[in-house]
Amino acid sequence: MPVGKILRDGVRFLLRRPVTVRYPFKRENTSVLEGFRGALKYDPGLCVGCMLCVKLCPSGAITTADRKVSINPSRCILCGQCVEVCPRKALRMTHEFEHVTRK
Look at residue 102 and tell me if it is in a domain: yes
Categorize the per-residue pLDDT at 101 as very low, low, confident or very high, splitting at 50, 70 and 90.
Answer: low
| Domain hosting residue 70, numbered range | 25-103
CATH code of the domain in which 73 resides: 3.30.70.20
Indicate if the pLDDT at residue 99 is higher than 90. no
pLDDT tens track for 21-63: 776 676 666 677 888 888 899 999 999 989 999 999 999 999 9
Greater confidence, 39 or 1? 39
Tell me the whole-structure pTM to 2 decimals.
0.66
Q: Are strands 62-65 and 68-71 parallel, antiparallel or unpaired?
A: antiparallel
Look at residue 1 and tell me if it is in a domain: no
Look at residue 9 and tell me if it is in a domain: no
Look at residue 14 and tell me if it is in a domain: no
C-alpha angle 90-92-98 in degrees, rounded to nearest 5: 135
Look at residue 20 and tell me if it is in a domain: no
Look at residue 92 and tell me if it is in a domain: yes
DSSP secondary structure letter of residue 91:
E
Number of domains making up the chain: 1
Look at residue 2 and tell me if it is in a domain: no
